[in-house]
Structure 1
Amino acid sequence: MRIPRLARVHLGPMAVLFVLALTACVLVAGLPRVTQGAFDQALRRALTGAPAVQADLAVTVESRSSQEDLHERAQFDTRDRLWHKLLPATLRPLVAPGGHMSAKTTLTPVTGSHGGRYLNLGWLSDADRRVDWVQGRVPGAPATMRYEGEPIPLIEVGVVAEAAAKMGLRPGRTVVLGENDQVAVKIVGLFEAKDPGDRYWSHNTDILHYTEIQPPNGGDMEVHTTTLMSDAGLTALSGAGRNLTYRWILPVNGAAASAQDTVGLGAAVADFGRLVTLQSTGTPYHLETGLPKLLGDFLAALATAQTVMYLVLGGLLAVVLGVIVLAVRLLTDRMDHALTVARARGGSLRQVAGTAAALTGLAVAPAALAGYALSYLVPGPVVPIVHLGPVLVVVASAGFAAARPAVTHRTPLHERRDDVVATRPSARRVTLEVLVVVLALGGAYLLRARGPAASAGQDPFLLVVPVTLTLAAAVITLRCYPYPLRLLVRLTARGRAAVPFLGLTRAARARSGSVLPVLILLPALAVSVFAAVISDGIAGTQRLASWEQAGAPIRITSPMEIPAAQVERVRGAAGVDRVLLAQTGRVQLGYGAERAEALAVDVGQWRELLGDAPVGLPPLSDGVLVSPELRGRGTLEIGWQSRLRLATRGVIDSVPGFYTQGKFLVVPLSVQARPYVNTLLVSGDASPAALRRLVPQATVVSQAETLAAIQDDPLTSTVRWTLLVVTVALAGYALVAIVLALVVGAAERARAVSFLRTLGLSERQAQRLTVLEILPMIIITALAGLGLGLLLPAALGPGVDLSSYAGGLPVGDYALDLLTPSVLAAGLAAVAVLGAYTHTAIGRRRALGAVLRLGDLS
């Protein structure tokens, strides 16, 4: 048969097939690239946003004797090259060139300070590129001096200006360190970091800052800092008399990370750690890194994101293929007469099937190629589905186009019984359908009972259950839809009007072949409603999480008392409506060592300030609200500014913006003799940046900024964006499916209406008859799809942990929002009615005799 001539004759169905295949391939090949790109972006943000001391690889070793000392930079460089050589192939692209090396002592006391001051010795391989000397000079080579009649090393060092002011380490001063094996250091200069915000300094915070530590037994605070020496100073640095540690930092380049390699990275880090340990000759080398923990947290969030993506994208692919199959069926139906004639004239079954497949491929293959090419305009890495998706569309389309004529034209001049409207299903088919339903219900129950998978990664059980639920809903809908229609037929049979009886009778007696195309609506609606409900659940929980973290529209907390003048400036700031004073602190419970976190605030005013926020506390005028760990203690004896005896008025699980676990309590601010205000709760639309300038020593947390930070996460935004795109796409494909279903059955429907019109059926009655024939199945399928879509979040919720996308709170409150289902159902019904009226309007242009003769030939 001549394919080009057939293509010209059936140009309309081929154009529809081309457009459907093009859009399908763009979606199937483009969306995975977007999602994978977001996964990569999320991993890179997790690695670059984490402190370098947690993300980088650090090889450490302690020097415990003079034989293990490293006195020259060349010795450090040799080992640095060895560590890079030992890196597994998977890790090498992730490790950035450069890095640095260091040598530091710890717990080096200032002689005579009785453990109150510690001045550690430090060396950085790249200090010249990291610090500016603001006073004095760069340290030089070490020398010796006499101390208590004995010569000791004298090392020239520099100190960060912050620590020098705190510890009185002015340039020119000499300090003796150690209690028995003394060494002297001479302060020759003060330095500051060139870029204090560089992630590099998280490895060396002890050099950039001083720290104060409270001793376990109480007493005065200990002050610690680390000095900076020159390369020459290494010759006087030994682990024989002090705690000396060498470090080689291999920086991780988060921008080079790929989510596809995450699983292998964890194993590669473990292998590298083993290789490092094997290089030990004396004191063992160790690999210190928080990279496995970062990767593990990311994998947990990624597994959930991938599961949700696979569910919605898999549903989209199934619906897309179903709609394309409908379009292929339309094309093969239009070709049926030509194929029948060819078969009757001696054409082989292979020729008939090959002709249909070739004509379908002529429309689908160029569309798939164009869609595949357009997908490369979408940013993101190429994953296997990008290549396989268009191929699957072409194979499925051509395969169905070949299989359907092959089955239909098994024998020449095939005929079918139009008077047979239903057949009794076989016992094997009934058993299989019952098995599908039982497995779906059992799988949903087991998923709810089991909860989230214990290990990270894809959960096959979670991916199979939605498929079985969809199949079960389709089987139940297909089997049960005639029964309510037959009941309506019996009711309409008692009336005098013929149109309702005829329309509903034709709908109830529709063949399964004509019903199956409409069942494409079921997964389309189920997945789209599921996506909409999940998206709404995430959005609501994100808002709740932002209020839980902020506790107020704006919360200002300070480590010290906020002066009254600053409070008044905050009250007068632009956009501030109300300021509520509060005090936080750690209080004594009873007279023992037990402690608890406490918040003193006017709870009634706080409740008013929160307004309609989804968080709050129960009323409290006197007494105390306690955490679950303090439940059942009755009246509490609290030591804060004074001794307080307060009766327990309630138990609260958390205090929004302050405490979520442990021992905590809330008391009225009025119980304090003089409130030590260190917290302000602010309402209004004031600028957080402006408030930070007014209270520079405080931390300002805004509910709006917290919510934006939660929503701005790449994984979170991608999940919600993909759910929105899939919802819109599935709604569009559902409408296309209705239109195609109308067109596929147009010839048979026109023949039946034409027969009835010869018996006196008017055009208006013909339109009503067509609507009543089509609309019931659409409504029933739409209700089944909507019900399944609303059921899936409840069925899958316990197995899908979406807390990573909702600020750490579990997403479980899927409120029943009927807006989206109503819009979808109304849109489908409107398209069905419009299609029915359009169909009858087109049918009016044909002469009844021509339609009937055409029907007689078919």
Structure 2
Amino acid sequence: MTPPTVAPWVRTRLRAAPGAACALALLVALTSCLAAVFPRAVQDYEDAGLRHAVSAAAPQRTVLDLTTAQPAIEQEADARDEMMRTESMRSAYDKIVDSLHAPLAVDETQSSYGLRTTVQLKAADTDTWLPRPDGLGAQFTLSAQTGLARHSSVAAGRMPRAGKVTWETTEVEGAVTAATAKALHIEPGSVIHVPALMKGNVSVRITGVLKARDPKASYWAAAPVLAAPSLRQTETRPPSNFWVGGILLAPEAAPALLGTAGDPEQFWQLAPDLGSLDARTVPALKSAVAYTKDGPGLLAVREATGGDTEVATGLDEFITGYQELRARIGPVVSVAAYGTGTVACIVLLMAGGLAAERRRAEFTVLRSRGGSVRGLAGRLLAETAVVAVPAGAAGLALALVAVRHGRWQPAVLAAAAVVLLTCLALPLRAVAAHRRVHVGGARDDLAHARPSRRRTVAELTLLVLAVASIVALRRRGTSDGGDSLVALAPVLVGVVAAFVLVRVYPLPLRWLARPAGRLRGVVGYLSLARTGRATAGAGTAVLPLLALLTALTTAAFGGSVLAGIDHERDRAAVLTTGADARVESGSPLPAALVGQVRKMPGVRDVSPLTLRYDAEPKDGKRKVPLAVVDTASYARLSARTDLGKFPAGALTTDAAKAGTAASPLPVLASPSMRDVFGTGPFSLWMDGEDVVLRISEVRTTTPALSDDFLVVDRTALARRVGIGQKANEDIAYRYLPSSLLVTGGHIDGPALRKAAGSKVSVRLRATERARYVDSPLQTGAARVYSAAVVIGAGYAALTLLLALARAAPERTALLARLRTMGLTRRQARRLLILEALPQAALAAAGGALTGWAAIRLLSPGLDLTGLALATAGDGGPVAQLRTDALSLLLPALCVVLLATAVAAGQAWWAGRRGFVRELRAGEAS
């Protein structure tokens, strides 16, 4: 007899519930994709930040500059010349590159080597055609280095050539860049004479004017004087100006430099390969630089060059600065990652729990008919794996395509963790609920339930961990790098708060259920009674509340982090400019400029002032920075920018003898100036007058100046030093406004610069603010953090939907029964809304309160400086977390609105459907 065919378990279950399988696959694919994207996105912005930190720095500080003094004069001339030739230096270059340790790599296209003078050579007095500002002749640096033809093009003339050149050669060919030729009036055919080593001159005939292909590249930027001349000053008083330029010789002409008085040196200029920089290998890169700069690698370099070679570079300093910035940013980003990851894990667990509760009756029947726990778990594992593994693989593939940069191993591990958690959620939940065979059980009621001892121990353990993480964060902060426990602090605070709320939750239910039972209507009592039930249909289990509270805490915390970053950037920009725009000049501004600026669109107010740095106390030991202001407009400016707000009357005075010992001028001072001069009268020597002042107000900041400052009223000071008198026109000129502090919205920067003129500095607050986010390390971290907050909010909404979905079938059956008993559609809608509101309101209020508490507890230890300010150093102010009301209230309000909308939609949908199916025997119990 042929045995009956038994359909496979997995195929049968997937065909029985295709919608649930597709929803689970979508959830796993999305979560695995996000989990795999995170480590690659972090590595992407970290690598970009490292490359930016090195490339944005001055190349002369990041290249490895290897230098060797010229051979001793006692050495044979032929041997000395041979050491300077290209073939010999190329051999040394190859050995140097081979001695470097990975991951330090060299960009050979930007690297060069050759011979250059270290002492600037003054052009001969006979070269009268060269410009001579203040009567001083031009000075030149001569360099014979490789790669000249590759990095430049000929604008006029031709490239320099060299025949058989020795150290005794007195005539060579050279070339200059277009910028040098324009400034120093050089053209092809010009001859420049520089001092020779013994006597006489070495003639350099300019054969070509070159145009640098990329002036910012390391080849040119490592020695800026070769690309463009500079006007320098002598150290004498008064200083005198003179030109310094660079002349480029053919590489084969290097021996001729030995015959000049320029004390030449051999150099190998190694530019780092930015494409090979990897944030993961930063410690190894730093060790490799130290190995070559000061370690055993230096011996290999000296052996290759055959001299006492020195290695100079600032690359290790930039690496250290990058490590410090990343150490500041990393823990802050990890806070968002742990929070969002925790909520995502809870959602996956809830999805498994939802499937287990939906099939509770099925599992109960299987266990009552002899099914083993192991067999049940194995079949559920296979059933879930068939859906989760392909979905996880699809999510991983999407993540690898979306972010192509970064290692694939962390992404695979993250996606695998998501798949593993999904596969285990349903079997473990089913095993936990059906370890013992039972047919049915009493209905659980949260209002009368007693927590188990295991739950109490787990809650106490989490409480201890939360307290430890908070204490660690407040003591050490995130600036030291932090660890996982510190990064989990906001999550642990939310988890502990969720457990506390779950324990407190039954109390108001008990208090409200009794008076509600005495009311005439049935809706209020039914909603409270159903809210207190902890069955699967009620949708008020601990896990949904835990997920909602954790998600809301993370969203509130993350929103406050982003708000704190914006606040600190705005604050730093205002401190830099003192207003929305700052017009500043070293000399008095045109008298009509103030009126022109006031009439510009977007300008609200203008505060003119004069900055003086020549006021001296009687002891004459220091100069005092003094701001002479129009008190009325300056007081309005201080209040508007929140930089040392003060009453205008504190600086004004009508005393005719103000500024004398009998009536000192009131001034606004910084705390440092108060410590120097005290609160009593003191005098400053200004413009031939002894002006007596007295500090009337002390503020830590002021718009005009930073750090040390004194602010005095212009009218009162003018009366004292006699600005209004015709005999003091020179003094009056000194007190004309030299700066304008402009406030207003949407100030037209180009129009303001045009009105001010080319010789006046114009700085906009918006431009200064943009400087604080110039690092990809910051912008990338901020994007990842913002995405984590948004994703956490999305998972919070999904958590609420899953919680409500668990109760949907039972609610529909209840409405069907109640409708047969006379319940109207309006009452049905009110019932579902009132049933959903308590938990939503509890989660919303608890999330807002927990988020506020987490911010207050953790803000002293959370350093946002690295994320907020790109140029901040260790000595600057620390940007701390600030409470953002919108981040606290908006997610909470959205939870309440979403719960209400879902409940109302369910009631509407249930009203449109018939109740025949729900009222069939055995299906509405």
Task: Output the TM-score relative to the length of structure 2.
Answer: 0.79
SS at match of 1:522: helix
Q: Which residue, out of 72, 75, 87, partners 2:85?
A: 72
Residue 398 of structure 2 corresponds to 374
Q: Which residue, out of 427, 430, 449, partners 2:456?
A: 430
Q: Which amino acid aligns with 2:417?
A: L
When residues 297 and 239 of structure 1 are mapped into structure 2, their CA distance, relative to the original with a 3 A threshold, is: farther
The answer to whether residue 50 in structure 2 is matched with residue 43 in structure 1 is: yes
Residue 661 of structure 2 corresponds to none
Return the offset for 1:86: 1.6
- What CA distance in whole angstroms lies between the structure 1 residues aligned with 2:428 and 2:485? 32
Q: Which amino acid aligns with 2:216?
A: D
Mapping for residues 234-383 of structure 1, pairs under 5 Å: 234-238=254-258, 243-273=263-293, 274-278=295-299, 279-280=301-302, 284-383=308-407
Q: Is the 8 A contact 1:532 1:820 kept in 2?
A: yes
When residues 558 and 245 of structure 1 are mapped into structure 2, their CA distance, relative to the original with a 3 A threshold, is: farther
Q: Which amino acid aligns with 2:779?
A: S
User: After alignment, is 510-519 or 392-401 more displaced?
Assistant: 510-519
Q: Is the 8 A contact 1:95 1:250 kept in 2?
A: yes
SS at match of 1:589: strand
- What CA distance in whole angstroms lies between the structure 2 residues aligned with 1:183 and 1:121? 18
Q: Deviations over 1:45-96 (max 9, x none)?
A: 322222111222222334473358853233332222222112222112x635
Residue 688 of structure 1 corresponds to 749
Q: Which amino acid aligns with 1:225?
A: V
Return the offset for 1:521: 0.6
Residue 97 of structure 1 corresponds to 109
Residue 203 of structure 1 corresponds to 222
Mapping for residues 171-186 of structure 1, pairs under 5 Å: 171-172=190-191, 174=193, 176=195, 184-186=201-203
Return the offset for 1:596: 4.8
The answer to whether residue 803 in structure 2 is matched with residue 741 in structure 1 is: yes
User: After alignment, is 826-835 or 565-574 more displaced?
Assistant: 565-574
Q: Which residue, out of 9, 26, 31, partners 1:2?
A: 9
Q: Deviations over 1:707-743 (max 9, x none)?
A: 3443564344334433443333333322222222223
**Could you tell me the percent identity over the aligned residues?**
25
When residues 183 and 470 of structure 1 are mapped into structure 2, their CA distance, relative to the original with a 3 A threshold, is: farther
Count of aligned positions:
843
Q: Which residue, out of 575, 583, 590, partners 1:556?
A: 583
Q: Which amino acid aligns with 1:405?
A: A
Q: Which residue, out of 474, 478, 486, partners 2:510?
A: 486
The answer to whether residue 256 in structure 2 is matched with residue 228 in structure 1 is: no
- What CA distance in whole angstroms lies between the structure 2 residues aligned with 1:408 and 1:185? 97
- What CA distance in whole angstroms lies between the structure 1 residues aligned with 2:898 and 2:776? 37
Aligned-CA RMSD value: 4.3
SS at match of 1:535: helix
Q: Deviations over 1:578-606 (max 9, x none)?
A: 76554446426336453455544435434
SS at match of 1:632: helix
Residue 777 of structure 1 corresponds to 839
SS at match of 2:330: helix
User: After alignment, is 821-830 or 123-132 more displaced?
Assistant: 123-132
The answer to whether residue 693 in structure 2 is matched with residue 647 in structure 1 is: yes
Q: Is the 8 A contact 1:108 1:177 kept in 2?
A: no
Residue 21 of structure 2 corresponds to 14
- What CA distance in whole angstroms lies between the structure 1 residues aligned with 2:603 and 2:832? 63
Residue 793 of structure 2 corresponds to 731
Could you tell me which runs of 5 or more consecutive residues in structure 1 were left unpaired when the two chains were aligned.
Answer: 146-150
Return the offset for 1:798: 3.1
Return the offset for 1:777: 2.3
When residues 818 and 169 of structure 1 are mapped into structure 2, their CA distance, relative to the original with a 3 A threshold, is: closer
Q: Is the 8 A contact 2:466 2:496 kept in 1?
A: yes
Q: Which amino acid aligns with 1:369?
A: A
SS at match of 2:641: coil
- What CA distance in whole angstroms lies between the structure 1 residues aligned with 2:161 and 2:608? 50
SS at match of 1:673: helix
When residues 443 and 393 of structure 1 are mapped into structure 2, their CA distance, relative to the original with a 3 A threshold, is: closer
User: After alignment, is 373-382 or 527-536 more displaced?
Assistant: 373-382
Q: Is the 8 A contact 2:683 2:691 kept in 1?
A: yes
Residue 27 of structure 1 corresponds to 34
User: After alignment, is 294-303 or 398-407 more displaced?
Assistant: 294-303
When residues 562 and 192 of structure 1 are mapped into structure 2, their CA distance, relative to the original with a 3 A threshold, is: farther
SS at match of 2:67: strand
Residue 406 of structure 1 corresponds to 431
- What CA distance in whole angstroms lies between the structure 1 residues aligned with 2:846 and 2:259? 75
Task: Output the TM-score relative to the length of structure 1.
Answer: 0.85
Return the offset for 1:652: 4.3
Residue 721 of structure 2 corresponds to none
Could you tell me which runs of 5 or more consecutive residues in structure 2 were left unpaired when the two chains were aligned.
Answer: 1-7, 126-133, 653-664, 718-730
SS at match of 2:442: coil
SS at match of 2:44: helix
Return the offset for 1:420: 7.2
Mapping for residues 154-173 of structure 1, pairs under 5 Å: 171-172=190-191
Residue 673 of structure 1 corresponds to 732
Q: Is the 8 A contact 1:750 1:843 kept in 2?
A: yes
Q: Deviations over 1:456-475 (max 9, x none)?
A: x4533422323432332222
Q: Deviations over 1:534-588 (max 9, x none)?
A: 1122122222222222223332344566667988987888877776554446426
Q: Is the 8 A contact 2:566 2:868 kept in 1?
A: yes
Q: Which amino acid aligns with 1:594?
A: R
Residue 469 of structure 2 corresponds to 443
Residue 846 of structure 1 corresponds to 915
Residue 131 of structure 2 corresponds to none
Q: Which residue, out of 538, 554, 574, partners 1:527?
A: 554
When residues 494 and 816 of structure 1 are mapped into structure 2, their CA distance, relative to the original with a 3 A threshold, is: farther
User: After alignment, is 763-772 or 83-92 more displaced?
Assistant: 763-772
